[in-house]
């Protein structure tokens, strides 16, 4: 690579096929991304030509690999949220006095956090004498919406690194009444803060639901 002729390479056309190979599976349909101005088609030779000074002149991000630490943080977000949802499922089974195996058949069909919380509140309403717990759960539900949205975007959106800034980028494309389309810079520290935020929600939920759990011990303990 040390013998690369910059002037000759600058005249070479950019190849979408080479760009796909250089930038990974996210760009399998690279032409659509590039034509929309979301990505920058780069060959390996072009990447080599981009000095620290030249990178700022490139429009948009310069996609690159993510660090192992960032992948780890994404996994921790997913794992913590899964633990919180499992705790809610378990509360539904226990307060509903449903055997775990039967409860699992039911709650495994609840695909959203919102659905699980609403089901738990409904079960508490049928049981009666849990007005304070229900009120606390409704407030918890409202407070958790931000973390739930960040978790969903973290787990379901595509990620790439950025050779230009060094900051990982999350590609968000949503259309909730209005189109949002573009890269969002999210650092590894940002994700680790979300990991802690979800852990705090886990502890808060345990405290809120404890009066109901104490009244309805697991069936195996009866």
3-state SS, one letter per residue, for the chain: CCCCCHHHHHCCCCCHHHHHHHHCHHHCCHHHHHHCCCCCCCCHHHHHHCCHHHHCCCCCCCEECCCHHHHHHHHHHHHHHHHHHHHHHHHHHHHCCCCHHHHHHHHCCCCCHHHHHHHHHHHHHHHCCCHHHHHHHHHHHHHHHHHHHHHHHHHHCCEEEECCCCCCEEEEEEECCCEEEEEEECCHHHHHHHHHHHHHHHHHHHHHHHHHHHHCCCHHHC
For the chain, domain boundaries: 12-64, 68-157+167-221
pLDDT of 45 reads 53
Query: pLDDT tens-digit profile of 29-45?
Result: 444 444 444 455 455 45
What pLDDT is recorded for position 12? Answer: 38
- Mark the ranges of the chain whose per-residue pLDDT is less than 50: 1-16, 18-20, 22-25, 27-38, 41, 44, 51-53
Query: Would you state the pLDDT for residue 181?
Result: 84
Supply the pLDDT for residue 9. 33
């Amino acid at each position: 690579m040390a013998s690369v002729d910059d002037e000759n390479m600058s005249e070479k056309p950019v190849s979408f096929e080479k760009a796909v190979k250089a930038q990974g599976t996210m760009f399998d349909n690279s032409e659509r991304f590039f034509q929309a101005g979301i990505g920058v088609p780069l060959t390996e030779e072009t990447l080599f030509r981009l000095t620290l000074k030249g990178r700022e002149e490139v429009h948009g991000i310069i996609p690159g690999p993510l660090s192992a630490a960032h992948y780890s943080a994404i996994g921790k977000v997913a794992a913590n949220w899964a633990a919180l949802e499992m705790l809610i499922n378990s509360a539904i089974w226990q307060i509903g006095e449903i055997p775990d195996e039967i409860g699992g058949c039911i709650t495994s069909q609840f695909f959203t956090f919102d659905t699980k919380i609403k089901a738990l509140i409904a079960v508490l309403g049928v049981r009666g004498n849990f007005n304070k717990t229900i009120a606390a759960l409704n407030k918890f539900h409202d407070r958790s919406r931000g973390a739930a949205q960040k978790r969903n975007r973290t787990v379901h959106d595509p990620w790439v690194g950025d050779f230009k800034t060094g900051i990982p980028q999350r590609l968000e494309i949503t259309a909730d009444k209005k189109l949002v389309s573009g890269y969002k810079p999210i650092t590894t520290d940002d994700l680790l803060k979300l990991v802690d935020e979800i852990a705090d929600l886990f502890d808060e939920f345990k405290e809120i639901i404890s009066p109901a759990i104490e009244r309805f011990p697991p069936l195996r303990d009866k």
